[in-house]
């Protein structure tokens, strides 16, 4: 004989997503749903519903930082933009390092160690430079090779999403693994993203790898907010002069072709690499350099585009 479900259980089963809520004439649930994958205010509700994914009340905007290929500066951009935004004490910023293959955020934030468990037995993100950071790098032994197959990647990503007690957040930046394959598409779909930023180098633009990244997000139903041209030009560390080694305005032309905006151009500069390796992003260590200013401008553009208000 089956036991009748409690009203709390029925509530949880019923209130799966905003479409169900709307049908029931209700607003967002005030409880965290069991087995919930998160949805947020700017998510494409239709696709969340179609995917049969439940929603929780977590309300931050989520933005992926991605690229068509590896090593173009996604993680560095994510870290600097997050720290730039977090300089505003009213804004609560988090980073989800979704690069389970080669997590970089622990190094970029100078963070080590295991997350502690909350009362609800969820992992508490580590924190530095006023940013909450969660990364598979905190859970793996250092130097342990992460050999993942597709389903394992998804379950690792689900763990990072659901088993983490993010504090109050206005914006969660998602540092994506390189590439545009199935793994990246499913991450994009599960995250209920408000949008994506494509990081590209000028060579990358020439090879139109950036286009692959944009096509991927289109397929996942995620809008591309704009492009960051990284290593756009060489900024001489001695005299500061600018050398457009790859020609100028390449990103602007390419972005116009794709119908998207350039959010900013970041110079190729030793200080960016050095400060990254030291766990102290350039926007904090050398805030008045052109490199730091480039990231701060990108952060400001993003904030405007997303209309992030503090909570």
Ligand X SMILES: Nc1ncnc2c1ncn2[C@@H]1O[C@H](COP(=O)(O)OP(=O)(O)OP(=O)(O)O)[C@@H](O)[C@H]1O
Give the one entry of Mg ion, Zn ion, ligand X, none that residue 43 binds, where binding means its C-beta sits below a cut-off of 5 to 8 angstroms depending on kind.
none
Separation of alpha carbons 92 and 59, rounded Å: 12
Asked if residue 242 binds ligand X (CB under 6 A), the reply is no
Helix axes 209-219, 182-190, angle to 10 degrees: 50
**What are 129's two structure tokens?**
């430079």
Separation of alpha carbons 84 and 131, rounded Å: 10
Give the one entry of ligand X, Mg ion, Zn ion, none that residue 239 binds, where binding means its C-beta sits below a cut-off of 5 to 8 angstroms depending on kind.
Zn ion
Asked if residue 50 binds Zn ion (CB under 5 A), the reply is no
**Beta carbon nearer to Zn ion, 54 or 267:** 267
Q: In whole angstroms, how close is the CB of 145 to Zn ion at the nearest point?
A: 40
- From 27-35, 207-215, 247-255, 267-275, span contacting ligand X (CB under 6 A): 267-275
**Beta carbon nearer to Mg ion, 74 or 233:** 74
* Contact string 178-197 vs ligand X (x = CB under 6 A): x-------------------
Give the one entry of ligand X, Mg ion, Zn ion, none that residue 137 binds, where binding means its C-beta sits below a cut-off of 5 to 8 angstroms depending on kind.
none
Cβ atoms < 10 Å from Cβ of 54: 20
**Beta carbon nearer to ligand X, 56 or 180:** 180
* Contact string 42-71 vs ligand X (x = CB under 6 A): -------------------------x--xx
Separation of alpha carbons 311 and 309, rounded Å: 6
Asked if residue 135 binds Mg ion (CB under 5 A), the reply is no
Q: What stretches of the chain show up as alpha helix (H) in DSSP?
A: 7-14, 18-23, 45-50, 74-86, 105-108, 150-162, 182-190, 202-206, 209-219, 250-258, 270-277, 282-285, 290-306
Determine which residue in the list 56, 67, 75, 189 makes contact with Mg ion, applying CB under 5 A. 75
Residue 208's Cα: distance from chain center in Å? Answer: 22
Asked if residue 104 binds Mg ion (CB under 5 A), the reply is yes
Asked if residue 213 binds ligand X (CB under 6 A), the reply is no
Between strands 195-200 and 224-235, the pairing is parallel
Contact 210, 258 (CB under 8 A): yes
Site residues (CB under 5 A) for Zn ion?
236, 238-239, 241
Site residues (CB under 5 A) for Mg ion?
74-75, 99, 104
């Amino acid at each position: 004989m089956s036991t009748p479900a409690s009203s709390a259980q029925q509530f949880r089963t019923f209130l799966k997503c905003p479409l169900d809520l709307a049908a029931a004439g209700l607003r967002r649930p005030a409880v965290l749903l069991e087995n919930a994958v998160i949805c947020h205010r700017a998510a494409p509700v239709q696709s969340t519903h179609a995917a049969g994914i439940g929603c929780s009340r977590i309300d931050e905007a989520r933005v992926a930082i991605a690229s068509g290929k590896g090593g173009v500066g996604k993680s560095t951009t994510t870290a600097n933009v997050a720290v730039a935004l977090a300089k505003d004490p009213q804004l609560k910023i988090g980073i989800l390092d979704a690069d389970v293959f080669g997590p970089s955020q622990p190094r970029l934030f100078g963070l080590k160690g295991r997350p502690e468990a909350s009362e609800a037995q969820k992992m508490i993100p580590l924190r530095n430079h006023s940013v909450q950071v969660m990364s598979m790098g905190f859970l793996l032994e250092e130097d342990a090779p992460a050999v993942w197959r597709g389903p394992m990647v998804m379950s690792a990503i689900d763990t990072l999403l659901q088993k983490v007690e993010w504090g109050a957040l206005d914006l969660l930046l998602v540092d994506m693994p390189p590439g545009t394959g199935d793994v990246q598409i499913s991450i994009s779909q599960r995250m209920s993203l408000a949008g994506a930023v494509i990081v590209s180098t000028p060579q990358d633009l020439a090879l139109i790898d950036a286009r692959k990244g944009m096509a991927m997000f289109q397929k996942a139903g995620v809008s591309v907010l704009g492009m960051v041209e990284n290593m756009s030009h060489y900024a001489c560390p001695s005299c500061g002069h600018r050398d457009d080694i790859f020609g100028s305005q390449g990103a602007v032309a390419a972005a116009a072709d794709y119908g998207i905006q350039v959010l900013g151009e970041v110079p190729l500069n030793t200080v960016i690499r050095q400060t990254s390796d030291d766990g102290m992003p350039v926007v904090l260590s050398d805030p008045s350099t052109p490199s730091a200013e480039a990231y701060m401008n990108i952060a400001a553009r993003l904030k405007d585009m997303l209309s992030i208000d503090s909570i």
